[in-house]
Amino acid sequence: MDYFVDVALPIPLEKLFTYKVSPEQAELIQPGMRISVPFGKRKVYTSIAIAVHDNPPTVYEAKDIDQILDENPLITSFQLKHWDWIANYYMCTLGEVIRAALPKPFLLESETVVTSNADQKVEDSLLSDDEFLILEALSNQSSLSINDIIEITEKKNVLPILNGLLDKHAIEVKETIYEQYKPKLVRYVHFSEQFTNDEALSQLLEVLSKAPKQRQVVLQLFQLQAQQGGRVKVSDLISASGSSSSIIKSLLNKGVLQELLIREDRILIDQEAEQKQFELSNHQTQALKTIQNAFDANKPALLFGVTSSGKTEVYLKLIEDKLNQGEQVLYLLPEIALTTQLISRLQGYLGNKVAVYHSKYSANERVEVWNNVQNQSENAQVVIGARSSLFLPFSKLGLVIIDEEHEASFKQFDPAPRYHARDSALVLAKLHGAQAVLGSATPSLESFKNAKEGKFGLAELTVRFGEAMMPDVQLIDIKEATRKKKMKGHFSKTLFESIEESLLAGEQIIFFQNRRGFAPVIECTTCGHVEQCPNCDVSLTFHQNKNQLRCHYCGYYESVSPSCKACGNNTLDSIGFGTEQIQQELQKLFPKAHVARMDLDTTRGKYAYQKLIAAFEKKEIDILVGTQMVTKGLDFRNVGLVGILNADTLLNFPDYRAHERTFQLLTQVAGRAGRTAKRGKVLIQSYNPYHKVLQQVTTNSYREMFEEQLYEREQFKYPPSLKIIKLTLKAKDFNRLNEASSWLAQSLRNVFGNLVLGPESPVISRIRREYLKNILLKIPHEQSVSKTKKGIKRIQKSFDAIPMFKSVRLVYDVDHI
C-alpha cells in the first residue's frame, strides 16, 4: 500500500498539499510535526503535517517528502484546531496563519547549493571562463555551495555567473535546509584542577608577578569565586579586573584557567523581586465574585472598571488561583511596548513565573518562550503578550485575560491573517475549556452589548481604588474664546492659567493630541463646522487633488465650497496640528518648564519609551505631550492636569466609530489625572462643547454613550448591529483596478443586493505603487456568516478565472475596524 501525508505549506495556498511517504515514515509522522518538502521546481519548504492516509491525490503526482524534521509534534492539536478556525473565519489560508504563528527559526531557510544538470550538455565554446571553471568542478563533485564557487572563481559576486549557467540549463539549484536557531551560550571560566589548592595558587601568583595584568585577573577570579562560587562569567571577570579577553586567553593557553560554555535562556527576570502582598477592597471582592459566577456558568466575563479602579489587582487574584492549580495563563495587552509599567508590576507579584512575548523580541528569544510554554516550564506559566502570543503552544491553559479589550490595535491590519486578538482569544479559551475575562474602563460596543445580552458576565468597578476621586472634566468653548480673541496660540485663557497653576503647585501635566488629527478634514475655524456625509454619518474626507469632499464609505462626493456652509465665513481650513507644534508652543509660553514629547518619532528605539516614562516618573519632565501612547496604561502619581487642545479632530474623523473612539480616548487620557488623593483636572477644548459625546465624557456616562451609539449603528447599519467584511483590491494599473472592482461589486450585488457598498477609493488610495479600492459587504445577523463567505468565495472563483484580472490582488478583512 502507498502512504501519503497532507501538509500545510507556509504560503498562501488554498489547499493542503499531498506528498508520498514510505511505510516507515507513515508510522513516524504525527500531525503537527514539521516536514521539509520540495515544492515547485527548486524550492524546499518547511511544512506542517496534518494527516497521514492512503489516498493518492487525483490531479497531480505526489512527490516524496525530503525529511521529517521533528521527533514529536512541534504544534499541538489545540493549535491546529485554533489556527484552522482563524483561517476559516478570517478568510485566509492555514499557511498564512502558520507563517504568522511560528517564530521564524522554526520555518527553516534554504541555503543555496548547485549541482550540474545531467540532462544537458553545453558546448564548451559557449561558456565563459568562469562558467567553464564551475562546470569542471561539478564534474568532480556532485554539488557546490555558494562559498565553494566564490573560491573557485575568486570572485565575490557569483550570482550573475550562476544565473548565466541557469539560463543555459547547465546547472540546477538545490536547496538544503538547516536549523537557524542556536541557543545563546555564555562563556564561563574557573581555575584548572592543579590550581585549586591555596599552595599552588600562591606559587602561581609568584610566577605571575612579572605579568601584573594576568596576576590581577587571577586575584579577581579568586575573589569572585569566593562571592559566587565555582565558575565565573568571563564578561564579569573582564569588567571586574579591568582586563581584556586576550589576557584571559593567555591564561587559558597556559592552562591556568579552563573554559566552559553554558546554555542560557535569554529572557532573564529579576529573581530577587520580592513578592508583594495585597488585599482586595470590598468593591474588588464583589467584582471578583461576579467574575467567578460567570465562569461557573461557563461564560466569559467583562470587567468594566473606571480608570484606576484596580482592575489589575482583580486579574492578579484570578491568576493566583490558576497558578495554584498548575494551569497556564495568557495575559493579552494591545501594545506591549506601552506596558513596561504593568510588566514590572506583575513580576512584583508573580516573580519569575511571568514570561513576555511580542514582536520586539528577537526570533531566538521568541523560540525560548515558545519552548518554555511547550514544556510547561514554571517560568512561563503566565505569558504577557501582544496579539501574537495567542499562537503559543499552551496545553494547560486555564485563563485568558484581555486587558484594554476596546483597543483597535488588537486587530491585525496587514498582512493576513487579519485576526482580532480579542475574538480569537475567546475562541482559544473555549477550545481549552479555559476561562476568559475582558477588561476596560471604556468597553467596546461589541463587548458591552454581549454583556447586556447575557453572553458575558458583567462585573463593575464604579469607584477608583482608595480615596482617589474621579477627575474633574471641563469643556472649554474655543469658538467663543476665538471670537473674543482670548486665545494664546492654541491655548484658551482657562487652559493657560490652569497650566500655570499646576506648574506652580509642582504637579505634572499631560497633553494629548491625536495622531489621527492629521486626517484630511476641512473645518471652519470660526464655527467649527465639518461637512458630513448625507448617507453615512461620517465626516467627509478632503481630497486635495480633486478639491473634493468625499465619503470613503459610500462614495458620495461634493466639491469644496469657498465658504463654510454653516456660518458663511470663508474661514475653512484643513485641520490637524501635531504634537511637535504643541511642544514648541508650550515651550515658548512656559520657557522654564521642561516639555517632552511622546509619539512615534520619539519612541523609535528599543528603550526610548522606557526612558521617557522613567524621566516622567522621576519628575524630570513637567509637561508631556503625546499621541494615543499617553492614554494607555500609565500610572503616574503626580499628574494634576490633563489637557486636550482640540477634541473636534477626534469627533470629526471620517469613521463610523469616531464617536465611540472619542469617548474611549478622552476617558482614558482623563484617567491619567489625579490618581492620588488630590482630585485631578481635565480640560478639553472644542469648537463644539455641546456635542453629546463630549458631554458624556465630562459626566462619565458610558451607558448613555453606549445606548446612543448603538442606536446610530443600527440606523446606519454598522457593527455591532451587523457584521462587515471589507474587500480590498490592489493593482498597479488604475484602469484595470477600476474594471475589476466594478465587476466584483456588481457580482456581489447580484447576490447580496444593497448590502454591498462601493467600490470606493480609500483616503490613502495608492500604497507602494499599488492603487486600492474598497468594497464593503454588510452581513445582517439573520444571515448566515459562513454561507455568505462561501458565496463570496464562489464569486472570487469566477473573478480569478478572468484573465484580465490576473494582475489584481484581492484581500479580505473580516470584521474590519
Which region among 61-69, 217-225, 276-284, 518-526 touches ligand ADP (by CB under 6 A)? 276-284
Nearest distance, CB of residue 407 and ligand ADP, angstroms: 14
Q: Which of 89, 465, 706, 812 binds ligand ADP (CB under 6 A)?
A: 465
Q: 3-state SS string over 541-581?
A: EEECCCCEEECCCCCCEEECCCCCCCCCCCCEEECCCCHHH
Binding mask 21-40 for ligand ADP (x = CB under 6 A): --------------------
702 binds ligand ADP (CB under 6 A): no
Q: Which is nearer to Zn ion, 295 or 718 (CB)?
A: 718
Q: Which is nearer to ligand ADP, 95 or 439 (CB)?
A: 439
Cβ atoms of residues 596 and 623 within 8 Å: yes
Nearest Cα neighbor of 85 from 97, 100, 73, 76 is 97
Nearest distance, CB of residue 638 and ligand ADP, angstroms: 13
Phi and psi at residue 329, to the nearest 5°: -130, 135
Which region among 294-302, 305-313, 426-434, 508-516 touches ligand ADP (by CB under 6 A)? 305-313
Nearest distance, CB of residue 541 and Zn ion, angstroms: 10
Window 432-451: residues binding ligand ADP (CB under 6 A): none
Applying CB under 5 A, the residues found at the interface with Zn ion are 533, 535-536, 551, 553-554, 556
Cβ atoms of residues 17 and 43 within 8 Å: no
674 binds ligand ADP (CB under 6 A): no
Helical residues (DSSP H) of 391-492, grouped into ranges = 421-432, 445-452, 478-483
Q: Which is nearer to ligand ADP, 308 or 447 (CB)?
A: 308
Nearest distance, CB of residue 462 and ligand ADP, angstroms: 11
Q: Which of 201, 211, 280, 337 binds ligand ADP (CB under 6 A)?
A: 280
Q: Which is nearer to ligand ADP, 468 or 775 (CB)?
A: 468
Binding mask 630-659 for ligand ADP (x = CB under 6 A): -----x------------------------
Q: Which of 10, 32, 103, 305 binds ligand ADP (CB under 6 A)?
A: 305
Nearest distance, CB of residue 345 and ligand ADP, angstroms: 7
492 binds ligand ADP (CB under 6 A): no
How many angstroms separate the CA atoms of 291 and 311, rounded? 12
The SS3 call for residue 115 is strand
Nearest distance, CB of residue 398 and ligand ADP, angstroms: 21
- Show the cell assigned to 681: 483636572
- Show the cell assigned to 351: 516573580
Place of cell 565565573: 232
Nearest Cα neighbor of 497 from 587, 582, 590 is 590
281 binds ligand ADP (CB under 6 A): yes
- 390 C-beta neighbours (distance < 10 Å), count: 27
Alpha-carbon Rg for the chain in angstroms: 32
343 binds ligand ADP (CB under 6 A): no
Partner in contact with 465, chosen from ligand ADP, Zn ion, none, beta carbon below 5 to 8 Å by kind? ligand ADP
Give the residue numbers of the binding site for Zn(2+). 524, 527, 533, 536, 551, 554, 564, 567
Partner in contact with 284, chosen from ligand ADP, Zn ion, none, beta carbon below 5 to 8 Å by kind? ligand ADP
Cβ atoms of residues 412 and 448 within 8 Å: no
Which positions ≥6 away from 625 have C-beta within 8 Å?
Answer: 511, 513, 579, 582, 583, 586, 595, 596, 597, 598
Nearest distance, CB of residue 635 and ligand ADP, angstroms: 5
- Show the cell assigned to 357: 512575548
Which region among 206-214, 309-317, 362-370, 378-386 touches ligand ADP (by CB under 6 A)? 309-317
Q: Which of 242, 244, 278, 285 binds ligand ADP (CB under 6 A)?
A: 278
Q: Which is nearer to Zn ion, 45 or 553 (CB)?
A: 553
Q: What is the DSSP string of 226-254?
A: HHH-S-EEHHHHHHHHT--HHHHHHHHHT
Nearest distance, CB of residue 311 and ligand ADP, angstroms: 4
Q: Which of 300, 310, 471, 758 binds ligand ADP (CB under 6 A)?
A: 310
The SS3 call for residue 85 is helix
Q: Which of 299, 311, 366, 449 binds ligand ADP (CB under 6 A)?
A: 311
541 binds ligand ADP (CB under 6 A): no
How many angstroms separate the CA atoms of 688 and 423, rounded? 35
Cβ atoms of residues 143 and 174 within 8 Å: yes
Q: CA torsion 577→582→588→592, rounded to 10°?
A: 180
Nearest distance, CB of residue 514 and ligand ADP, angstroms: 21
Nearest distance, CB of residue 556 and Zn ion, angstroms: 4
552 binds ligand ADP (CB under 6 A): no
Residue of closest CB approach to ligand ADP: 310
Which region among 76-84, 219-227, 277-285, 797-805 touches ligand ADP (by CB under 6 A)? 277-285
Q: Which is nearer to ligand ADP, 312 or 389 (CB)?
A: 312
Helical residues (DSSP H) of 417-538, grouped into ranges = 421-432, 445-452, 478-483, 493-504
Give the residue numbers of the binding site. 524, 527, 533, 536, 551, 554, 564, 567
Partner in contact with 511, chosen from ligand ADP, Zn ion, none, beta carbon below 5 to 8 Å by kind? none
Nearest distance, CB of residue 439 and ligand ADP, angstroms: 8
Partner in contact with 697, chosen from ligand ADP, Zn ion, none, beta carbon below 5 to 8 Å by kind? none
Q: Which is nearer to ligand ADP, 123 or 279 (CB)?
A: 279
Residue 464 is classified by DSSP as -
Phi and psi at residue 332, to the nearest 5°: -90, 135
How many angstroms separate the CA atoms of 653 and 539, rounded? 6
Q: Are strands 472-477 and 681-686 parallel, antiparallel or unpaired?
A: parallel
Number of residues that bind ligand ADP (CB under 6 A): 15
How many angstroms separate the CA atoms of 265 and 282, rounded? 41
Beta bridge partners of 557: 550
- Show the cell assigned to 689: 462643547
Q: What is the DSSP string of 708-759?
A: HHHHHHHHHT-TTSEEEEEEEEEESSHHHHHHHHHHHHHHHHHHHGGGEEEE
Beta bridge partners of 37: 45
Q: Which is nearer to ligand ADP, 26 or 280 (CB)?
A: 280
The one-letter code for the residue type at 69 is: L
Q: Could you list the residues that contact ligand ADP (CB under 6 A)?
A: 278-281, 284, 305, 307-313, 465, 635
